[in-house]
Structure 1
Amino acid sequence: MIRRLHAMASGGAALLFILSLPGRVLADEASSAGVSPWAIHGQWTTVVQKHSAFRAPYSGDNSLAPSERQQETTDLTLMLGVRPWRNAEIWINPEIDQGFGLSNTLGVAGFPSGEAYKVGQNAPYLRLPRAFLRQVVPLGGQEEEVEGVANQMAGSRTANNIIITVGKFSVTDIFDANTYAHDPRGDFLNWSVIDAGAFDYAADAWGFTYGGAVEWNQDVWSGRAGLFQLSGVPNGKVTGFDFSQHMVVAEAERRHQWQGRPGKIKLLVFANRGKMGRYDEAVAQSLRDGTVPDTAAVRRRQSRAGWSLNVEQDMGGGIGSFLRLSGNDGSKEAYEFTEINRSASAGLAVKGSRWGREGDTLGAAVAVNGLSPDARQYFGQGGLGILIGDGRLSYAPEKIGEIYYAARVGKALAISFDAQRIVNPAYNHDRGPVTVYALRLHADF
């Protein structure tokens, strides 16, 4: 509750600042640029997800329940934007959330719903995931039209520019983006498909944090760098600007043409600095004390680094492909995202224009996730993590296949059907496989 009130206060301060600006200044700036000084967008998404019963000779505190289960999540978001001066935008996103992920978002490292947070509640509750300022600095080049969509105002900008973003938002709003696999409200749902699985990015339990990023776009190149706050303890609360616990991240992007079709290649590196525990130290202490290993008992200030390679390619004929590879330091506990030390995912998205349904999309992807030797030993002796911990472990890579069909119904509504097959959930060959089905309803304006 304290975190939520603080976030609302921060967003409220930003809104008061916006409203305090002279209306004539806003109107004059907008008039000179030929664009509206404000924007309003909204979205509603409901995901109903169900998994089949599966084999499980044992379960732990963080296991996926072996009996058949069904859960639902809903979020309703209002995106309010205003242009306080030329080339600047301020956005706030008040949101109402409700619902739970399967088994309270536990039991699978590549969790099957990107719409499920690490917290849940039966009654709807209000929060403020985003409140940020974006400033564009023109650097010349061709003038390009910018589409007016959620958290982006319509207008134009030069192709070469610098973009500065500060405030509260998601690290993945800017980093690790991919045209074909990045939006659980519209494309794939699995965590290790929509994001690089080993990208342990700074975030609270809902996936958002405070920080800033600078982007430089020049011809076919882009460079990005950011500084963001980690939570006070792994998977904890983020309550404001306090970078004693922080993440630094950088990404280089090159755009290209392959047989006349656009594509992108991105290389990302990151490092988290904060109080975290080593798996081997937790295991050693547990052996001395005759207890279950616990990384919380051996936390000290140290760093954990990682990387990802992100490729997307338009294949022509309405087909797009993607590939992600990622890895991180597996000697220390996962801090914010999930217990994945290496990951590979790839897939295709096919537009419905191929069969006369212009607004539809068919997608298929696979992901393979792995744990480091130190992590295997920790979880094998009963340790718990952010998402996984079966009490025992017969290790095998976690393998995931996902397919979805998103059908556009009118201008504002989309209905999606999604199916996932998860082999060795939470890296445990003794449990599963499990099949997960989902129905997703999404509306936007």
Structure 2
Amino acid sequence: MFQRKKTNPVFLSLFALCLCLAISPQARADDTGQAISVPQDQSSSEPWSVHGQATFVNQWHPSFTAPYGGANSLDSNGQNNETFDLSVMIGRRLWQGAELWINPEIDQGFGLSNTLGVAGYPSGEAYKVGANAPYLRLPRLFLRQVIGLDGPRQQLESALGQLAGSQPVNNVTLTVGKFSVVDIFDTNSYAHDPRSDFLNWSLIDGGSFDYAADPWGFTVGAAVEWNQDRWTLRGGVFQLSETPNAKMSGVHFRQRSFMTELEERHQWQGHPGKLKLLVFINQGDMASYQNALQLANLTGGVPDVSQVRRYSSNPGVVLNFEQELTSDLGVFARASANGGHKETYEFTEINRSVAAGLSLAGNRWGRPDDKVGVAGVVNALSSDARQYFAAGGTGLLIGDGQLNYAREKIAEIYYSMRLNSCLKLSADYQRVVNPAYNKDRGPVSFYALRLHAEY
């Protein structure tokens, strides 16, 4: 039997409001149902921008085989939970090249098993915190400054997080404030946005990319990007939580994350592609798995990383590839790894990950705004992490009390159908073999329906 979190009635009212807003489109449709952009005067810069979105995800899984479980296990009984977010992105042009952005958001709902039990967690719309009642927060508040360099200019259309106007192609862009690291780093055209493409955490980002983030995925920091012809070089410094997976209070950089990313853009038989190499290092009070195991051997208890934390560092790397093959078909792949000797600080317990997939637009069946995606990912733990979890340790997302180790294997397929100019409905299916790297549990199937509106 399915177990389901109670939905607050206020949520239903907010979602109805969202749909009403969505029905007031930024674009209209012609007689064939195709979207027609409302003409804009692109010769002048847009002083203000107000865009919004709302996303509702209902996800469930049936019961599965599980002879035992631990504090962080996926519930082996069937569950059915929903998440909802409603956000507005407001931008203001301050002076030449400068923009101020603010992003208030209302959230509600829970991830399955309170966002525990699978390293490659099945919903990127589920945060590490949940609530029955809708609550307000501020994910983003940042300043962006674009400094033009010599070369041609490009026209930008008004969009979520983008002001309409003209901007140099070659530029230096500085972003400072509160935002998500993956707003800028490790982006991918085909697998990066759980509101419109894949849902699984280890597909929308590099699985081993332990990026700085609060439990909602945001932090304070600064990033600089040098865009020149077919190359971009990025660098950033961001605040880590005071302790792993904790809420952030105040601004400090004693616990910090540094990263740099090199992006190469190219054409293959007239179709665009990108290749990115990202390197990061986290520095803060973090535990060594071996130290936790040694202490547990001395005391006769279960290993606990919170008892052996000391200031140290953990490096990692992500290789990210995307390539358009035809006008309606694209492929992507990611490979990532981190040190594996230290506990995960912010993201999820994945020390090695390889993912690949494709995205196909619906041109071939007469629905060009529809999209289907198919992908697979294999996640792995380091030897130190395996020993820690086998001894009964728990992490940010996983910990079954014991471990019969095997690599976690995930397949995902989704179909996104456009209902009108600003509303999409998606169906998603995921199959997870060896959830939380445990051969004794699963496999498990996840099903989801997603409704997404942009206005």
Counterpart residue number, 1:240: 250
Alignment partner for residue 307 of structure 1, among 305, 317, 328? 317
Matched AA of 1:398: E
Q: Are residue 180 (structure 1) and residue 190 (structure 2) matched?
A: yes
Could you tell me how far apart the structure 2 residues matched to 1:418 and 1:147 are?
Answer: 30
Counterpart residue number, 1:442: 452
Matched AA of 2:449: L
Counterpart residue number, 1:123: 133
Q: Which has the higher helix share?
A: 1
Counterpart residue number, 2:422: 412
CA shift, 1:240, in A, is 3.3
Q: Are residue 196 (structure 1) and residue 196 (structure 2) matched?
A: no
Matched AA of 2:192: H
SS in 1 for 2:95: coil
CA shift, 1:147, in A, is 2.2
SS in 1 for 2:296: helix
Q: Are residue 371 (structure 1) and residue 381 (structure 2) matched?
A: yes
Could you tell me how far apart the structure 1 residues matched to 2:45 and 2:225 are?
Answer: 23
Alignment partner for residue 151 of structure 2, among 116, 119, 141? 141
Counterpart residue number, 2:402: 392
What does the per-residue CA deviation read over 1:156-209, in whole Å, with 9 as the maximum and x for residues that have no partner?
211100000000000000000000000000000000000000000000000000
Asked if the contact 1:317–1:354 (Cα under 8 Å) also holds between the matched residues in 2, the reply is no
Matched AA of 1:66: S
Matched AA of 1:437: Y
SS in 2 for 1:41: strand
Counterpart residue number, 2:264: 254
Matched AA of 2:75: A
Asked if the contact 2:158–2:164 (Cα under 8 Å) also holds between the matched residues in 1, the reply is yes
User: 1:178-327 to 2 correspondence within 5 Å?
Assistant: 178-327=188-337
SS in 2 for 1:53: coil
Counterpart residue number, 1:168: 178
Counterpart residue number, 1:12: none
Could you tell me how far apart the structure 2 residues matched to 1:155 and 1:401 are?
Answer: 41
What does the per-residue CA deviation read over 1:33-53, in whole Å, with 9 as the maximum and x for residues that have no partner?
712210100100000000111
SS in 2 for 1:284: helix
Could you tell me how far apart the structure 2 residues matched to 1:239 and 1:129 are?
Answer: 14
Could you tell me how far apart the structure 2 residues matched to 1:173 and 1:147 are?
Answer: 18
Counterpart residue number, 1:14: none
Matched AA of 1:416: S
Could you tell me how far apart the structure 1 residues matched to 2:186 and 2:62 are?
Answer: 32
What does the per-residue CA deviation read over 1:132-159, in whole Å, with 9 as the maximum and x for residues that have no partner?
0000000021111112111111112111
What does the per-residue CA deviation read over 1:98-124, in whole Å, with 9 as the maximum and x for residues that have no partner?
000000000000000000000000000
SS in 2 for 1:354: helix
What does the per-residue CA deviation read over 1:20-61, in whole Å, with 9 as the maximum and x for residues that have no partner?
xxxxxxxxxxx9971221010010000000011100000000
Matched AA of 1:360: D
What does the per-residue CA deviation read over 1:271-313, in whole Å, with 9 as the maximum and x for residues that have no partner?
0000000001100100110110001100000000000000000
Matched AA of 2:331: S
Larger mean Cα displacement after TM superposition, 328-337 or 353-362: 353-362
Counterpart residue number, 1:107: 117
- TM-score for both structures, normalised by structure 2: 0.90
Counterpart residue number, 2:59: 49
Could you tell me how far apart the structure 1 residues matched to 2:403 and 2:98 are?
Answer: 51
Matched AA of 1:68: G
Could you tell me how far apart the structure 1 residues matched to 2:296 and 2:101 are?
Answer: 48
Could you tell me how far apart the structure 2 residues matched to 1:254 and 1:238 are?
Answer: 34
Could you tell me how far apart the structure 2 residues matched to 1:433 and 1:77 are?
Answer: 35
SS in 2 for 1:288: helix
Could you tell me how far apart the structure 2 residues matched to 1:262 and 1:111 are?
Answer: 30
Could you tell me how far apart the structure 2 residues matched to 1:333 and 1:226 are?
Answer: 22
Could you tell me how far apart the structure 2 residues matched to 1:212 and 1:292 are?
Answer: 39
Task: Please list every run of at least 4 consecutive aligned residues from structure 1 whose deviation after the TM superposition is greater than 4 angstroms.
Answer: none
CA shift, 1:358, in A, is 1.2
CA shift, 1:224, in A, is 0.2
Could you tell me how far apart the structure 2 residues matched to 1:282 and 1:56 are?
Answer: 27
CA shift, 1:239, in A, is 2.5
Could you tell me how far apart the structure 2 residues matched to 1:260 and 1:151 are?
Answer: 29
Could you tell me how far apart the structure 2 residues matched to 1:41 and 1:432 are?
Answer: 41
CA shift, 1:238, in A, is 1.8
Asked if the contact 2:42–2:155 (Cα under 8 Å) also holds between the matched residues in 1, the reply is no
What does the per-residue CA deviation read over 1:244-291, in whole Å, with 9 as the maximum and x for residues that have no partner?
110001000000111111100000000000000000110010011011
SS in 2 for 1:83: strand
